[in-house]
Chain A
Amino acid sequence: MIKAEGLTKRYGALTAVDGLSFTVQPGEVLGFLGPNGAGKTTTMRMLAGFVPPTAGRAEVCGFSIEDRPVEAKQRLGYLPEGAPSYGEMTPRAFLAFIAAVRRLSGPERARRIDEVVGRLQLGAVLDRPIETLSKGFRRRVGLAQAILHDPPVLILDEPTDGLDPNQKHEVRQLINGMAADKIIVISTHILEEVDAVCTRAIIIAGGRIVADEKPAGLIARSRYHNAVTLRLAPGGDAAAVAGELRQVPGVAEVEVRDGAVTAFPRPGAALLTAIGDLAGSRGWALDRLELESGRLDEVFRTITTGSAPGRAA
């Protein structure tokens, strides 16, 4: 279990992280979201024991990261921001070093190194200095280092940054594959990642928690949640369609944008059937009719800036 109580970090007059409290249980994949400078990395550094908190405390598997740092760090796999490592070393030597520090030895050590090399597909670059590798490989070397000792707790700061779409997919699969019995905390600013791997999302802004929910719950906060969008065939009269949609029971609001008309529901109202029937009876020429699930980027903007329009807050 990871436990943070009133975790605070101040740099002079600047409060980077302001009294964060949360716990994460095994089986949870917690996504840390927030704009750049919101305090994500500082929080992760405090959890990993790199930066001492100004106030508050953090615990990893029952060990305080400040009072029992070695015990806590033994149970922790950590990928720092930017995946730093020793550039002059080869991945083979680097992983051997990490294994030695983690006190893996004998067949167990060989087995674990083989496994992470296979999982992260490092076989082809094992004997090239890390500093000559591409950004994607360096990130994967950092991930390999973090999971080498099969820790119960993983803290990964932007694990997919710099990876191509295929590699991102593989890393997400890797995380999903490990998620069942581990505690995983990742930070990201890629919103689709939250949907793809996280079971819970904490959004922080200005060093404070502004949302702590399941991804589905976050999406449901979107004003687009359960909205219906009609994309008209070329030549369609968007204004007329919008006018008719406003009369449909349950429609709170209608917006026209680039030939697409979106009807937003009143809370709890279901619009799809009614609008579908209406479109059929009026004979509107439609390219597409879709039920929106919600837009995470819009929720993110609303929550972190408080300035986007809409009723979700």
Chain B
Amino acid sequence: MDGIRTIARRELQGYFATPLAYVFIVIFLALMGAFTFYLGGFYERGQADLQPFFSFHPWLYLFLVPAIAMRLWAEERKSGSIELLMTLPVTTWQAVLGKFAAAWAFTGVALLLTFPVWITVSYLGDPDHGVIVAGYLGSWLMAGSFLAIGSAISAANRNQVVAFIITVVICFVFLLAGLPLVLDFFSGWLPEPLLDALAGLSFLTHFTAISKGVLDLRDLLYFGLVIGFWLYATAIVVDLKKAD
């Protein structure tokens, strides 16, 4: 536990020692506001909830979260600091979890900084706060899933740009797995049960369910499993490729 915390703290320091953290937070908040109030028609809807706000999260994450994840391991490999990290008395798991925890905590902070939207809707009307809390939770879990995917891809690539692009594509497929755009590609040759399973993998379906305030254990479990699976993959890839 100590090892994970130490590595996570160092990573977080790294975010704030460079412009990365500030640029990310400013752009995240600016886009979030623009999408919610202009594209989402927050006022025009005349409803006291944050549906238009949360509905844009998956699309923002699609491009912003891989930008954080791409550096997790690719940078360590490129600069050679991975040799230092992996010869310190920490296990691969501690390193993988520490780095992920830092990135996840950072997206959590960015997410919390959207609180003025919550204040606004509370001022204008009488929203269901439980639904909003669920929305934030679901959004954070989804960000974690994107990060876990990005972490594994970053570990497999020394080049950050390549890691970014591949992560975006994989996240895109996961996001839309339940929609015809992805399903049509597979429906010709994949048997029906597998197609259903694929549709069940959609981030969007699970996230929409949570953000409507329906806290189903299966949805939470789903994101937990996705994060666990991709972090496991990260640990394997790190061990295989660290010295390449």
Contact = CB atoms under 8 A, between A and B. Distances in A.
B3 interface: yes
B91 A89 contact: no
B212 interface: no
Given A51-B243, A70-B91, A76-B87, A87 B10 contact: no
A85 B79 CA distance: 8
Task: Classify chain B: how many residues form its interface, as a range.
Answer: 20 to 34
A45 B83 CA distance: 9
B86 interface: yes
Contacts of B90: 70, 101
Contacts of A81: 83
A5 interface: no
A100 to B, nearest CB: 4
A48 interface: yes
Nearest to A149: B89
B91 A69 contact: yes
B89 A70 contact: yes
Contacts of B86: 49-50
A237 interface: no
Nearest to A74: B89
Interface stretch (B11-19, B32-40, B43-51, B228-236): B11-19
A69 B10 CA distance: 22
Nearest to B7: A101
Contacts of B89: 69-71, 73-74, 101-102
A129 B14 CA distance: 11
B81 A88 contact: no
A276 interface: no
Task: Classify chain A: how many residues form its interface, as a range.
Answer: 20 to 34
A69 B3 CA distance: 14
A230 B81 CA distance: 52
Contacts of A71: 89
A45 B243 contact: yes
A69 B92 CA distance: 10
Contact of A97 (B10, B18, B83, B87): B10
A97 B89 CA distance: 13
B81 A97 contact: no
Interface of B: 2-3, 6-7, 9-10, 13-14, 17-18, 79-81, 83-84, 86-91, 242-243
19 contacts: A50-B83, A50-B87, A50-B243, A70-B91, A73-B87, A73-B89, A74-B89, A78-B87, A80-B84, A84-B83, A84-B84, A86-B81, A87-B79, A97-B9, A98-B88, A101-B90, A102-B88, A129-B17, A145-B84
Closest 9 CB pairs of A and B: A84-B80, A73-B89, A80-B83, A100-B6, A74-B89, A88-B17, A84-B81, A48-B87, A51-B243
